[in-house]
Each structure stands twice: as structure tokens, then as C-alpha cells.
Chain A
Amino acid sequence: MKIQVERDVLAEAVAWTARALPARPAVPVLAGIRLQAAADLTLSSFDYDVSAQARVPVDAEEEGEALVSGRLLAEITRSLPARPVEITTDGARATLACGSATFTLLTMPTEDYPTLPEMPPPAGSIGSDAFASAVSQSATAAGRDDTLPALTGVRIEIEGETLTLVSTDRYRLAVRELRWTPARPDLSAAVLVPARALADTARALTAGAEVSIALALPGEEGAGGEGMIGFEGGGRRTTTRLLGGDFPRYESLLPKQVNAVAELATPSFAEAVKRVALVAERNTAVRLSFSAGQLVLEAGTGDEAQAEEVIDASFEGDDIQIAFNPQYLLDGLTALDSDITRVSFTESGKPALITGKPAPDEQPDFRYLLMPIRLGG
């Protein structure tokens, strides 16, 4: 193999591919990134659950392939000067030269490297920026408790031209709806994708304009990549194993009618919560009291430090006092992406619905449902 490639192009492709490198590889070859040079350079990594591949244009003098330490390659390409990079292989060694620097890397046997999973058939596509922001919003409520694996995922529901992305950790629920272009107008499916991998993928795929989502649906005989979801865009692709388990039925949790609605300026609300929460020790609550025209935020107890702040709020309905985990509340406000926050209540022991203020006659496309904290004995 002998190729020349631009430094930035190589560094970005290596960084993308390195995301699927396992932290503790089950077999040594999985610690490697495979380089395959033909008309293009294809970089691959795989940890049995996630695979990643990038394809970049190169000047290939000589075709070939090599398997080198992925971690080392990522660190090296990140640090190279902005000059063209030349990669050559010679027996058990690969040489990477860039400007005045030369690195010689040991290679691993490529024949031991596993075959990457086949990409499932395409299900549809969506703008990469819209997808990334929707995923980041909807992953807000995903759980981190590995003993409840189904809650560590984002549920992707496909219903024709509507995608619905949902996550919940039992304490809050994040639901984001958006439009996409399905491969078939009658497409209907729901899958559960690991939230962390999905969020990383969506962010990294913003380099291209569009993201194509590939899905092997149950019952589609003969299609490859069963139990997988694939994402592709801008010369990069990745597959992720789907999560099993039952996702909770969440539709009935969203309140049909509410008793009170508050609207607040998002930045001042979020800042007040952050300030007041300084005295809320781990796991303790911020207490919110809504009444006409104002919100009183309090935290801390008589035995310890206490904080109080009053901010303006437009409020309609019965006065309500309700307490929340400050971090959960802030997570929601951060995810909103709206200047005005609307909080809808039924009662203080029931979840509150947090949304942005939608345009007249429109439904908010992102909903964050938060369970309160019950105080005292």
C-alpha cells in the first residue's frame, strides 16, 4: 500500500472510525483500525456491537490493506502538522510520514479481522443538523442504569413521514417529533437504539448534509443486518446493535388536560434554578411556588444553608407548589431550545410537562415530562 491523503481529511476520518474502538478489546485485532486502499481509502473499526467505517478520497499509488493500532493512529493523526500525509506498508510495518515527522507502526494480521456487519436496507433519510438536534433533545431523559437496559436507549418510532424519538429513565420522559423522508410512505416501525451511541453518531454525522437511516425490519426476509440499525452520511457509516427489552408505554403518561400553565423566560428561569440549587445537597429538591405573576424558587432546609429567589412568570390556573430534582429540571430547560418555557401542571404529586412556547395553532415538537419530588416524611 502506498497512498497520499490530506491531513485534515485523514484525521477526521480516523476520529470517526476510532469511536467504535472497544475500550477493552475481546481479541487484540479489534484494537485496530483497518485501512483499505483502492480508489478510495476505507477505514473500519468494530467492537461486535458497533461498527464504524469512513471512506475518503486519496491518491493511491499502490493498493493494499493494513491493520494498525487505532488508538495510536488517532493520537498521531490528531497531532500531525497541516501537510499531506503519506502512508506506506512494508511487510509487518506501516510508515506514516507527514512533513518532517515519520512514524513507523506495527501492523496486525488483516486476515484475522472480523467481517463488518452488512448495512441493513435503507429506511429513509433526514437532514443531518435536524437529526442531530432531535437526537440530543430526545436522549436527555435516557437512563444510565445498565440493570434496566431498555431505559438506556432512545426509542425511534417511524410512522410514515413522522419520526418520534423517546427516552425515559422513569423519572422524566423526553419526546421529540420530526419529519423525515421515508423510503416507503407506509413505513411503520419502532426500534430501541443505545442512547450514547446514537447521540455520538448523530453529532458526528453533521459533517454531511443528509443522514440515511438503514433498518432491517422484522419479517423482511433475506435482508441483511438483522437486529441492527445503520446510519450513513458524508462518506461515513456506522451500524449499532439494537437494544432488546420492553420500552414503557409512555403515551398515557402525557397529561391530556392541565390545571395550571406557567410561562417564563427560559434563560432567567434556568439561571435562577442553578443559583438556588447551590444549597441543595445531593438528591434534594428545589421547591417551586407558582402564583399569579411570579415564581418563588427555594432550596435548602432550616438546618443548613437556604436560598430563595423570585422571578416573573405569567401564570394561569390554581396556585401550585411543586418540588423537582434541580438537575433534572435544568436538563429539560437546556434541551428545550426555546426562549420561552411553558410548564403545565395537573397537581403537585403528578408530573409537570415542560415545552417551549409553540407558535399559535401549533403543537410543541419537543415535550419533557418530569416527575416531582415528594418532600418530608
Chain B
Amino acid sequence: MTRGGPGRGPAVPDGAASPDRGPVTGEPVPGESVTGEPVSGKPAAGGAAAGGAAADSGCRILHVDMDAFYASVEIRDRPELAGRPVIVGATASRGVVLAASYEARAFGVHSAMPVTRARRLCPQAVFISPRHHVYAAVSKEVMEVFRSVTPEVEPLALDEAFLDVSGAIRRLGPPARIGALIRATIAEQQGITCSVGVASSKFIAKLASTHSKPDGLLVVPADGVLAFLHPLPVAALWGVGEQTGQVLARLGLRTVRDIAEIPVGTLQRELGLSLGAHLAALAWGRDERPVVSSTPEKSIGAEETFASDIDDPEVIRRELLRLSGRTARGLRSAGALARTVVIKLRLANFTTITRSRTLPEPTDVARTIYATACALYSAAGLDSRARLRLVGVRTSGLVPASRAATQLAFGERPAGWRDAERALDRISGRFGTDTVRPAALVTGQPDEPFPRLSAGSHFQAPDESARRPPGEPARRPPAESARRPPREG
């Protein structure tokens, strides 16, 4: 494979060095286009732009990924850190590494590793607390650069995106040239480096950017996909995690070529119909997913890492209650209802379990989400001594609330939990989050006396609707009437 770029550090090729460059323009950028035979393993000459036009034809997808994004931004702002191992991560007791400079990675530090472990591996590193607002601002400008190339930008995270450059080729030149332009512009504007993969599909483009890291560019020509892909280990395939990897290892499949060469039926028998078919397609480089320029919000959720591992189911349920409340608030403020509830349980040994259930009716009610989350937690069948490090509640399958219809069921009150929770949203909006919260989440002094109420005295009067004359609206929860006279509509 071939790596472009003049080397480490901000890669600003000569032709891209005009100081006032704004959005990417069509200026020629010599020396950056990567061409030749990326699959041969021999680096091609950096200037062999003549062959580039052929090598990258049909490669209309770019994957652009910032190199060690948070760490790069910190080094940019504190140049004295350049060349030193830099680790960005919450410095609280249970923080994890969010980014590590390549100098730190040389010591085995990587993202998502506990900071305490990173400290042991690389004690001399500079540890920096994250400054999320700065990264978000840089990210926004980087995405603007992408959008100046093509409107077909699919951000995957703050620091990476897919671009479909089909429509920009006439204006800006072949895809490899466009990739080089983007790299140069970002290096110049933001003072950080990124890596670009250029290929005919999203899957290969992403692999290509990974293989060109850091500060590189790799073109995988359409007719070179298999030669590039087949020698890679199976873990390179999107969808192969630890478990699938173990199944494949048991079958003796180590490289992508191995997967490509066994019958689809065998894969499907071992991995299930859809995953089997999916891997077989990827192993032959088939990935038809288009670049989707504006991905609607796909899920809403919240998760919490405990300050110390928890094995008490009651504490875990209480945390699920709190997270369900946050999730439901998120749904309501997004004007969405969710069809599916997912819980995530991470054990002390970092094994992560996720369980999901699809509801008969989409919901934005914390109580429903909580009940489902608890049922999923019980059904996960954790050992009573299993210690949890993290719990999360997430909802997906979102539909706009305005278009959702709710099939009512017998025995439900017309003014139920949904109205009560929406009243709480209004209180929170006025008096601050958590002004009113479930009793289980009230943290006071343990010996502080507080009045005992009969359970749910306001919201649960079962015969309230029966006593009400027909046609009269349901009584609002007291919280609402205390605020202001009820409005119509």
C-alpha cells in the first residue's frame, strides 16, 4: 500500500500553502496525490500524479479521520507538548482515555482504557482534562471544510466523516486530489493532521484511512480492493467483534480471504443468516451503503460509570430509574417517541452486556422505560455477585411524537404518567433539573425525617375518573395547577 504526504507533522504541501485559504478550492496540489499500486506494498513515488487519475477512478467515497483528535488539538494549543506523550482523559478516579498522542500510543496506551492503567503504562505522559467545547468548535470547522467540498457529508463522530465526492470531481479534480486538498486545508486552518481513505465503498474507505494513519492518504482502486482486503485479519471486517471473532477463529478463519472462500451457507449456519451474509459480502468488498448526508438522531440515552463497582441490585435499579428519567426527558425535549429500549451493563472485568426490547407502542415515559430496563436487567440473569462498572439506558427506533398514535389499553388512566412527567418537565424548565424527582432518587441525610405519604397519593387515585362526570377534563396533577392556571389545548 502507498502512503502519501510528506511525513509526520502538519502536512502542508507547497501548492496548498496560500495563507488565506478558506474552503477547499480547485487549486492544484502537487505531490500529495497518492497513486500507483496501493496493493503492491511498495510505496509509489509521491509525485506520480499521472497514474492517479486511473487508480482512483470509481473511488468516489472518502473517509476522513482526525489523527488522535483531542490530543492533537491540545498539542496545537500548547506547542511545548509536541513530541511528548499526551493523554486526554477525565482525571477523576474512574476516567477513561479519550485520546492519546502517537507518542503515548507507543507505550500501549489507547482510547477507552482506564486512565489509571494509562498512568501505569506511561507515567511520564502529560495528562490533560478534556476541553469538550474546544473540540466541538474545531469539529464544526472541520465539518465545514468537508461541506465546502460536497454536501454529501456523513459525520460519524466529532472527528471523522464519510464524503461522497462524485459531484465534486469536475470542480476539484480526481478523488485522491480532493483528499489531499482536504488534508492540506485542515492542517493549515486547524493546525492538526488527519488521514484520508479513498475507495469505492464506505467500508474500504474507512479501512484505507486506518491503514494510512497517522497523517496519510491511501487510495484503494476499485480493482485492487480484494488484494488490499483479503490479507487483512478478520477483525478488520465491520461487524466482527470479540464474540464473532471467536466463532471465526474456531472455524479456522483468520484472514478476510478465509471468509471470502468458504460458502456463505457455512457462515450463515455459524453466525446467523444476516451476519453471515453481511460478512460474506464485506469479505468480497461489497458494501452498498450510500453516504447519508444528514443522519437523523438515531437514539437517545444516558449512561453512568460508578465511582466504584456496584453489585447491589437495588442501587443498580435506582441508577436505571435515574437514567430512564434522563432518557425520557431527552426524548420529550427532542419531540420523539422511542420504540426500543436498550440497556448496557459493563461488568468490573469490562465485559459488556447489552439487552434490548421493542415495545408494543413507542413511548417517552420514564416509567415505561424504567419498567422495561428493569425487566431487561433481571432477564440478563447476572450473578448476584456480578459487580457492575457502568450501566446505561438507551432508546432507539425514534418516531416524531407529533405523528405517533397511542393505542390505549384497558385500565389505563387517560391522564397518566405521561402527563405527570410532562408537568415535571415544565417544573424543571422553571426551577431547575431534579427539583422534583422520584422519591427513590432523593438523596438526603439518611436520618433526616421526611413525611411519609401513602404511595402515589396524587397520581394513582384509581377511581378518580369514575367519579368525574363524562366530558369534564381530567384533573391536572397538582404540580401543574400550582404553577399557573391551566391553558387550553
Judging by beta carbons under 8 Å apart, are B470 and A347 in contact?
yes
Docked Cα-Cα span, A325 to B406, in Å, equals 10
Interface string of B383-417 (1 = CB under 8 A from A): 00000000000000000011111111111001000
Chain A CB within 8 A of B471 CB:
yes
State whether the Cβ of A14 lies closer than 8 Å to any Cβ in chain B. Answer: no
Chain A 160-195, CB-CB to B under 8 Å as 1, else 0, gives 000000001011010000000000000000000000
Would A377 and B404 be within 8 Å (CB), given that A347-B470, A347-B471 are in contact?
A: yes
A371 and B410 form a contact (CB under 8 A):
yes
Q: Which of B335, B404, B405, B407 is in CB contact (< 8 Å) with A171?
A: B407
Residue pair A301, B403 in contact (C-beta under 8 Å): yes
A377 with B402, Cβ < 8 A, contacts A259-B470, A349-B414 known: yes
In-complex Cβ contact of A323 among B405, B409, B414 (8 A): B405
Do residues A171 and B471 form an inter-chain contact, with CB atoms below 8 A?
A: no
CB neighbours (8 Å) of A196 from chain B are: none
CA distance A284 to B361 in the complex (A): 11
**What are the residues of chain A within 8 A of B471 when measuring CB–CB?**
259, 318, 347
Contact string against B for A residues 67-99, beta-carbon threshold 8 Å, 1 for contact and 0 otherwise: 000000000000000000000000000000000
Indicate if the CB atoms of A325 and B407 lie closer than 8 Å: yes
How many Å from the CB of A172 to the closest CB on chain B? 9
Q: List CB contacts (< 8 Å) of A48-71 with chain B.
A: none
Determine whether the beta carbon of A371 is less than 8 Å from that of B405: no
Set of chain A residues within 8 Å of B335, measured between Cβ atoms: 377
Q: Contacts of A303 on B, CB cut-off 8 Å? A: 403
The complex places the Cα of A348 from the Cα of B173 at a distance, in Å, of 63
Quick one: given A259-B470, A346-B470, A377-B335, are A170 and B410 in contact (CB under 8 Å)? yes
A374 and B405 form a contact (CB under 8 A): yes
Contact A373 B405 (CB under 8 A): yes
Within 349-406 of B, Cβ neighbours of A (below 8 Å) are at 360, 401-406
Q: Contact check, A168 vs B402: say whether CB atoms are below 8 A apart.
A: no
Q: How many whole Å from A251's CB to the nearest CB in chain B?
A: 12
A-B contact count (CB 8 A): 54
Complex contact A371–B470 (CB within 8 A):
no
Chain A residues within an 8 Å CB radius of B409? 170-171, 371
B410 contact set on A, CB distance < 8 A: 168, 170-171, 173, 248, 250, 253, 351, 371
Across the interface, which residues of A come within 8 angstroms of B470, CB to CB? 259, 346-347
**Distance to closest chain B CB from A290 (angstroms):** 16
> Looking at A250, A285, A318, A374, which has the most chain B CB atoms within 10 Å of its CB?
A374
Contact with B along A137-171 (1 / 0, CB 8 A): 00000000100000000000000000000001011
Verify A373–B406 contact, CB threshold 8 A: yes
Q: In this assembly, does A283 line the interface, its C-beta being within 8 Å of a C-beta of chain B?
A: yes
Q: Which residues of A contact B360 (CB under 8 A)?
A: 145
The reply to whether the CB of A375 lies closer than 8 angstroms to some CB of chain B is yes
Task: Please give the distance in Å from B59's CB to the nearest CB on chain A.
Answer: 37
- Whether, in the assembled complex, A32 has its beta carbon less than 8 Å from a beta carbon of chain B, the answer is no
**A360 at the A/B interface (Cβ < 8 Å)?**
no
Return chain A residues, CB-CB under 8 Å to B402: 376-377
- B407 touching A373 by the CB < 8 A rule? yes
Minimum CB distance partner of A345 in chain B? B470
Q: Which chain A residues numbered 275 to 321 have a C-beta less than 8 Å away from chain B?
A: 283-285, 301, 303, 318
Q: How many residues of chain B get a CB closer than 8 Å to chain A's CBs? A: 16
Query: Could you tell me the distance between the alpha carbons of A170 and B361 in the complex, rounded to whole angstroms?
Result: 13
The SS class assigned to the B binding surface is loop
Cα of A349 to Cα of B416 in the assembled complex, Å: 12
B408 touches which of A168, A250, A374 (Cβ 8 Å): A374
* Contact A371 B407, beta carbon cutoff 8 Å: yes
Residues in B whose Cβ lies below 8 Å from that of A371 = 407-410
Q: Any chain B CB within 8 A of the CB of A233?
A: no
State in angstroms the CA–CA spacing of A250 and B402 once bound together.
32
Q: Which of A331-377 contact B (CB under 8 A)?
A: 346-347, 349-351, 371-377
Residues in B with CB closer than 8 Å to A347 are 470-471
Nearest residue (CB) in B for A324 is: B407
Encode B404-440 as 1/0 by CB contact (under 8 A) with A. 1111111100100000000000000000000000000
Complex interface: chain B residues within 8 A of A318 (CB): 471
- Report which of B401, B405, B411, B414 forms a contact with A283, defined as CB distance below 8 A: B405
Q: Which residues of B contact A285 (CB under 8 A)?
A: 405
Q: Smallest distance from the beta carbon of A281 to chain B beta carbons, Å?
A: 10
Q: How far is the CB of A350 from chain B (nearest CB, A)?
A: 8
Could you tell me the distance between the alpha carbons of A373 and B360 in the complex, rounded to whole angstroms?
13
- Of all chain B residues, which has the CB nearest A168? B410
CB distance B407 to A377 under 8 Å?
Answer: no
Of all chain A residues, the one with the shortest Cβ separation from B335 is A377
Query: Bound complex: CA of A376 vs CA of B335, how far in Å?
Result: 11
Which residues does chain A contribute within 8 Å of B414, judged by CB atoms? 349-350
- Given known contacts A346-B470, A347-B470, A374 and B403 CB-to-CB distance under 8 angstroms: no
The answer for the CA separation of A207 and B285 in the assembled complex, in Å, is: 61
Q: State the CA gap A248–B412 with chains docked (Å).
A: 13
In the complex, how many angstroms separate the beta carbon of A326 from the nearest chain B beta carbon? 11
A171 to B407, CA, bound (A): 7
Q: Please name the residue on chain B nearest to A323 by beta carbon.
A: B405
User: With A259-B470, A346-B470, A347-B470 as given contacts, are A374 and B411 in contact (CB-CB < 8 Å)?
Assistant: no
Residues of chain B within 8 A of A250, CB atoms compared: 410
| Inter-subunit contact A349/B407 (CB<8 Å) | no
Chain B residues contacting A350 (CB-CB under 8 Å) are 414
B406 to chain A, nearest CB (A): 5
What residues of chain B lie closer than 8 Å to A171, measured between beta carbons?
407-410
Query: Measured between alpha carbons, how far is A173 from B409 in the docked complex, in Å?
Result: 10
Q: How far is the CB of B196 from chain A (nearest CB, A)?
A: 39
Chain A residues contacting B411 (CB-CB under 8 Å) are: 170, 248, 253
Query: Which A104-154 residues have C-beta < 8 A from chain B?
Result: 145
CB neighbours (8 Å) of B405 from chain A are 283-285, 323, 373-376
CA distance in complex: A170, B408 (Å): 9
Q: Is A377 in contact with B408, judged by CB distance below 8 angstroms? A: no
> How far does the alpha carbon of A301 sit from the alpha carbon of B399 in the complex, in Å?
14
CA distance A346 to B469 in the complex (A): 11
With both beta carbons as reference points, the residue of chain B lying nearest to A255 in the complex is identified as B470
Min CB distance B403 to A, Å, is 6
Complex formed: what's the CA distance from A168 to B408 in Å?
13
Q: How far is the CB of A202 from chain B (nearest CB, A)?
A: 26
A185 to B405, CA, bound (A): 48
Contacts of A173 in B (CB 8 A): 410
Task: Give the one of B360, B404, B405, B409 with max A CB within 10 A.
Answer: B405
Cα–Cα, bound, A346→B468 (Å): 13
How long is the Cα–Cα vector from A106 to B405 in the complex, in angstroms? Answer: 57
Q: What 0/1 readout, one digit per residue, does chain B (198-235) give for beta carbons within 8 Å of chain A?
A: 00000000000000000000000000000000000000
CB distance from B352 to the nearest CB of A (A): 26
Name the distance in Å between A368's Cβ and chain B's nearest Cβ. 13
Apart from A283-B405, A347-B471, A374-B405, 7 more pairs, CB < 8 Å: A259-B471, A284-B405, A349-B408, A372-B408, A375-B405, A376-B404, A377-B401
Chain B interface (Cβ < 8 Å from any Cβ of A): 335, 360, 401-411, 414, 470-471
Can you identify 26 A-B contacts, CB atoms within 8 angstroms? A145-B360, A170-B409, A170-B410, A170-B411, A171-B407, A248-B410, A250-B410, A259-B470, A283-B405, A284-B405, A285-B405, A301-B403, A323-B405, A347-B470, A349-B408, A349-B414, A351-B410, A371-B407, A371-B410, A373-B405, A373-B406, A373-B408, A374-B406, A375-B405, A377-B401, A377-B404
The 3 closest A-B pairs by CB, nearest first: A377-B401, A170-B409, A371-B408
